[in-house]
Amino acid sequence: MTDLNHTKSQFHLPEGLIYLDGNSLGPLPKTASKRVADTVENEWGEMLIRGWNTAGWMAQPRKTGDRIARLIGAEPSTVVMGDTLSIKVYQALASAIDMRPDRKVILSDNGNFPTDLYMADGLLKSLKQGHELRIVEPEQVAASIDDTVAVVMLTQVDYRTGRMHDMAALTRKAHDVGALVIWDLAHSAGVLPVNLTGCKADLAVGCTYKYLNGGPGAPAFIYVRPDHADTARPALAGWLGHDAPFDFDMDYREGAGIDRFRVGTPSVLQMAALDAALDVWENVDMQNIRAKSIELTELFISEVEANCPQLGLASPRDPQERGSQVSFTFENGYPAMQAIIARGVIGDFRAPDIMRFGFTPLYIDEDDVRKAAKIIGDVMRDEAWDRPEFHQRSAVT
Amino acid sequence: MTDLNHTKSQFHLPEGLIYLDGNSLGPLPKTASKRVADTVENEWGEMLIRGWNTAGWMAQPRKTGDRIARLIGAEPSTVVMGDTLSIKVYQALASAIDMRPDRKVILSDNGNFPTDLYMADGLLKSLKQGHELRIVEPEQVAASIDDTVAVVMLTQVDYRTGRMHDMAALTRKAHDVGALVIWDLAHSAGVLPVNLTGCKADLAVGCTYKYLNGGPGAPAFIYVRPDHADTARPALAGWLGHDAPFDFDMDYREGAGIDRFRVGTPSVLQMAALDAALDVWENVDMQNIRAKSIELTELFISEVEANCPQLGLASPRDPQERGSQVSFTFENGYPAMQAIIARGVIGDFRAPDIMRFGFTPLYIDEDDVRKAAKIIGDVMRDEAWDRPEFHQRSAVT
């Protein structure tokens, strides 16, 4: 197996727990506690207002953006941190719509994370310009891209099943008809070898609390292709995206390049935790991460399928079409997942019937996978899953 | 003098420093270090994903909102935390515009903080619906409110001079002609006895890192009057404002009341620091805060004016028209402020010529004010402020 064990020791993993939910919230990197405490006590506590310059708080969203750029195949100075993923989706879409004023269709799919669709819907309702949010099946996206489409807005990896879109092919197809593409990398960043520069994506957004382990409430990122960044209108035109924020001009004047996509004050404590989490990546090759991710998910599928005939694989069987999670359908998935968690394997449940397990190669190894599969097998064998109360409980979740 | 000294001991204030910049970033409340460390190590570290429910992370933005509601004269369940102030200004304005579809004027003044105006301008440019952002002198606001105005959007206290708007009178005037009012309470919350319920404000927003001492990057708040909250469209329609976020519906359905103004994942570490900071307020009466604030600013003005004939008072002389800051104009204000800071009194400078000092009654007392005024007097006497290099340095800031 691909060896990444030197990174496992860099995380605090509670004793006796196998954590297969890093696709929802990554665990605590050991250095993050100290880094956050230092930011609170020595920076906020001692520097007070001077921390914005002396401790570098003001520059942090760009510095951290550069560290993330390396992990998603982007050039330096193309990524900046801030806000939440929902806000960055909105900003990216509002900006992209502005670049295609003559087209009215925003194309997405029903495998997108709901908040992306909600934010788009909220934006279009504000605009009142006759745009349509067209939502198709994931398999129909390619065929639905035509020259009425202004923006294709997709999440690369489906949060329920782990099904992956082909970023390069769909981006090329969109560009062929003059549409722009926004990629949401929530379930990609930190676990897949994304190549934003290579696939010529127009904009991309993502969160940092999943495979990047930035902690609960960690800031989001936004990528804008360099040839758009100097002309794009950032839509959320906050003072920290202004060309000279501390001139306090009455009029907004966009900053250069990606800087204009900053909005308000950065979340300094969250940025500190995230920056510590990114230290883990210093000597990690994303191709090795991907190789190990495939080994782990392949092993998990074969072990679970050998022991749990009740579970149906909901993820693509071909690892090339799958992100770093494995999902199974089971009608009593909710109580079954509660029973599995009670025995120390943490996955999660997504309505109506999805049991979801995420594999973060930085701290999950073959031994964890075998143990987890055994516990899942034990739960599925031990419990009387055909008892009527389970059916009732399942029905109300 | 009004006695609030029991709260001073609750802050970490670096030895030998008099901190008159709490109107920009409040100091570290002593309990915040431990609270943040506990959130990092015992919640994120040990609970992992379970922290959202077990540690109450998901409920925190509403719980903290209720604590802030009490400090700004709002009813429980009318305030929620999230995002940054810039984002909340945008959300409030987009939502308000939607409630007045037949009117096209957004009225503000040139004493508003620039990012409020930038965000409004960015929104109107996206909408392309013929709205006008009309910016007048602060003194002209009342006379400029007529029945073409959809929304009056103002910051109560001018960030440069501390000049205060009369919230009750302007809100009444706006309502008389059918306009809505959004108040930005950035320089009010935690230092003035705001009465949102009493003045019937439609929406209000504010930050929590100034007089509320929530720390660098602390989340913002938004207030929506209860009779608007169940019908308003939140514009930034994120999943945590959905009626049932974990149903993962394809369609957005607004949550009840103020809940719908939530957007994305809350910044859990920042929320922890803010919640600790709010403990200081448990037994504090805002009327006492205001009384002491006036005593401190009156004393400061008289001491500085007695010693520094070069400085011109930029703040209103009448304390009833002034927030909790005192500003002076001085053509060499930038280097003069640097010299004052070097001697241990921290204020700040705002272009082109404003020296700004903020007074937070929770931890600033009469002794601090006398010492600060003496040091400012010493600096103004000692330095050769008519030397040409100061004029040059001043010119380039």
The catalytic position among B163, B173, B260, B356 is B356
Q: Testing the interface with B: which of A267, A348, A356 to mutate, by most B Cβ within 10 A?
A: A267
* Cβ-nearest to A27 among B48, B125, B235: B48
pLDDT of residue A179: 98
pLDDT of residue B389: 63
Mark which residues 215-234 of A lie under 8 Å from B by CB: 215-217, 219-220, 233-234
Name every residue whose Cβ is closer than 8 Å to that of residue A65 and which is 6 or more positions away in sequence: A78, A79, A80, A81, A221, A258
CA distance A303 to chain B (A): 25
Architecture of domain A58-279: 3-Layer(aba) Sandwich (3.40)
Measured from the Cβ of residue B385, the count of other Cβ atoms closer than 10 Å reads 18
Spatial distance between the Cα atoms of B2 and B294, rounded to a whole number of angstroms: 10
For B145-269, list the strands marked E by DSSP.
149-155, 180-184, 203-206, 220-224
Q: pTM (2 decimals)?
A: 0.96
Name every residue whose Cβ is closer than 8 Å to that of residue B243 and which is 6 or more positions away in sequence: B253, B254, B255, B256
* Alpha-carbon distances, residue A1 vs A6, A193, A366 (angstroms): 14, 19, 8
Cβ contact B215–A90 (<8 Å): no
Buried b (16+ CB within 10 A) or exposed e, B140-158: ebeebbeeebbbbbbbbbb
Banded model confidence at residue B5, pLDDT cuts 50, 70, 90: low
Spatial distance between the Cα atoms of A23 and B105, rounded to a whole number of angstroms: 46
Banded model confidence at residue A366, pLDDT cuts 50, 70, 90: very high
Name every residue whose Cβ is closer than 8 Å to that of residue B386 and which is 6 or more positions away in sequence: none
| Domain extents in chain A | 5-29+285-396, 58-279
Spatial distance between the Cα atoms of A387 and A331, rounded to a whole number of angstroms: 12
Contacts of B44 in chain A (CB under 8 A): 25, 27-28, 215-216
> pLDDT tens, B179-223?
999 999 999 999 999 999 999 999 999 999 999 999 999 999 999
Amino acid at A149: V
Contacts of B247 in chain A (CB under 8 A): 351
A5-29+285-396, CATH topology level: Aspartate Aminotransferase, domain 1 (3.90.1150)
Residues in chain B: 397
Closest CA to B40 of A31, A151, A159: A31
What is the three-class DSSP state of A237?
A: coil
pLDDT of residue A6: 86
Would you state the structure tokens that stand for residue A33, as one six-digit string? 């506690």
Cβ contact B119–A238 (<8 Å): yes
Banded model confidence at residue B351, pLDDT cuts 50, 70, 90: confident
Measured from the Cβ of residue B71, the count of other Cβ atoms closer than 10 Å reads 25
CB contact at 8 A, B133 and B121: yes
Would you state the structure tokens that stand for residue B236, as one six-digit string? 């930034």
Cβ contact A48–B265 (<8 Å): no
Banded model confidence at residue A188, pLDDT cuts 50, 70, 90: very high
* Cβ-nearest to A128 among B90, B129, B249: B129
Banded model confidence at residue A389, pLDDT cuts 50, 70, 90: low
For chain A, list the strands marked E by DSSP.
11-12, 18-19, 28-29, 79-82, 105-109, 132-136, 149-155, 180-184, 203-206, 220-224, 312-313, 325-329, 345-346, 348-350, 354-358
The per-residue pLDDT of chain B, averaged, comes to: 95
Cβ contact B216–A269 (<8 Å): yes
Spatial distance between the Cα atoms of B254 and A380, rounded to a whole number of angstroms: 38
Largest CA distance in chain B: 69
Residue B393 has pLDDT above 80, yes or no: no
pLDDT of residue A158: 97
A-B interface: how many C-beta pairs under 8 angstroms?
Answer: 265
Closest CA to A297 of A279, A278, A313: A313
Sign of the Cα torsion B134, B136, B141, B144 reads negative
Q: Across residues B143-155, what is the average pLDDT?
A: 98
* Cβ-nearest to B270 among A57, A235, A270: A270
The per-residue pLDDT of chain A, averaged, comes to: 95
Closest CA to A53 of B374, B25, B55, B359: B25
Residue B397 has pLDDT above 50, yes or no: no
* Alpha-carbon distances, residue B393 vs B339, B355, B379, B390 (angstroms): 13, 15, 17, 5
CB contact at 8 A, A345 and A377: no
Cβ contact B238–A40 (<8 Å): no
B299 phi and psi angles, rounded to 5 deg: -60, -45
Active-site annotation holds for B253: no
Q: Testing the interface with A: which of B28, B126, B325 to mutate, by most A Cβ within 10 A?
A: B126
The catalytic position among B11, B90, B159, B209 is B209
Cβ contact B37–A32 (<8 Å): no
Q: Across residues B158-168, what is the average pLDDT?
A: 97
Spatial distance between the Cα atoms of B168 and A340, rounded to a whole number of angstroms: 57
Sign of the Cα torsion A103, A109, A112, A116 reads positive
Cβ contact B252–A348 (<8 Å): no
* Cβ-nearest to B45 among A28, A83, A219: A28
The catalytic position among B83, B184, B353, B365 is B184
How large a percentage of chain A has pLDDT more than 70?
96
